Amino acid sequence: MNFLQTVLAFVVCLGSLIVFHELGHYLVARWCGVKVLRFSVGMGKIVWSRRFGPDQTEWAVSALPLGGYVKMLDAREGDLAHLPPEELKREFTRQNVWKRIAIVGAGPLANFLIAIVLFAGLYMHGVEEPVSRVSVRASEVVELSAGAVSPTASPTASSSAPSTPIATPAWRAGLRSGDLVTAINDQPVSVWSELRWNLMQSAIDKKEARLTVERPGQGRMHVVLAAEVLAALDLDGDIVGKLGLGVARPAPVVQQVIAGGPAERAGLRKDDLLLAVDGTPVEDGIAFIDLIRASAGKTVSVAVRRDGQPVTLAMTPQAEQAKSGKGTVTVGKIGASIALQPDMITVPSSPPAALGKALARVWDTCTMTLKMIGKMIVGEVSLKNVTGPITIADYAGQTARMGVASYLSFIAFISISLGVMNLLPIPVLDGGHLLYYSLEVLTGRPVPERFNEIAQRVGIGLLMTLMLLAVFNDVARLL
Domains and CATH numbers, the chain: 2-32+95-126+410-478 (no CATH), 129-248 (2.30.42.10), 254-341 (2.30.42.10)
pLDDT, average across residues 345-366:
91
- 286 contacts 268 by C-beta, under 8 angstroms: no
Q: Is the pLDDT of residue 452 over 90?
A: no
Average pLDDT taken over every residue of the chain: 88
**pLDDT (average), residues 11-39:** 94
Q: What is the pLDDT of residue 324?
A: 65
In the DSSP assignment, the letter for residue 347 is -
Distance from C-alpha of 344 to C-alpha of 131, rounded to nearest angstrom: 6
Half-sphere exposure of 439 (CA within 13 A, CB side): 11
pLDDT at 66 over 80: no
Contact call for residues 349 and 357 (beta carbons, < 8 A): yes
Task: Report whether pLDDT(421) > 90.
Answer: yes
Please answer whether residues 262 and 274 qualify as being in contact, where contact means their C-beta atoms are separated by less than 8 angstroms.
no
Q: Which of 22, 129, 194, 283 is catalytic?
A: 22
3-state secondary structure of 66: strand
pLDDT at 454 over 70: yes
Measured in degrees and rounded to the nearest 5, phi and psi for residue 4 equal -65, -40
Instruction: Show Cβ contacts of residue 173 under 8 Å, excluding neighbours closer than 6 positions.
Output: 223, 224, 225, 226, 229
Q: How do residues 303-314 score in pLDDT, each as one tens digit?
A: 999 999 999 999
165 compared with 59, residue with greater pLDDT = 59
Distance between CA 245 and CA 179 in Å, rounded?
Answer: 11
Q: Is it the case that residue 155 has pLDDT exceeding 60? A: no
For residue 366, the model assigns a pLDDT of 94
The candidate with the shortest Cα–Cα distance to 135, out of 291, 252, 250, 212, is 250
- pLDDT at residue 283 in the model: 85
Contact partners, residue 249, CB within 8 Å, separation at least 6: 135, 284, 285, 286, 339, 340, 341, 342
pLDDT at 344: 87
pLDDT value of residue 327: 66
Mean pLDDT of 179-185: 95
Predicted pLDDT at 149? 44
pLDDT tens figures, 312-328: 999 999 998 887 655 67
State yes or no: pLDDT of 141 exceeds 90: no
Which DSSP letter does residue 423 get?
T
- Answer yes or no: 91 catalytic: no
d(CA 181, CA 223): 10
Residue 430 has pLDDT above 60, yes or no: yes
- For the whole model, what pTM was predicted? 0.76
Q: In whole angstroms, what is the distance from residue 307 CA to residue 344 CA?
A: 27
The span from the CA of 311 to the CA of 267, in Å, is 10
Per-residue pLDDT, 120: 96
Share of the chain above pLDDT 90, in %: 55
CA atoms of 305 and 274, how far apart (whole Å): 7
Whether the Cβ atoms of residue 216 and residue 178 lie closer than 8 Å to each other? yes
Is 70 exceeded by the pLDDT of residue 142?
no
Which phi and psi (to 5°) does residue 207 adopt? Answer: -120, 150
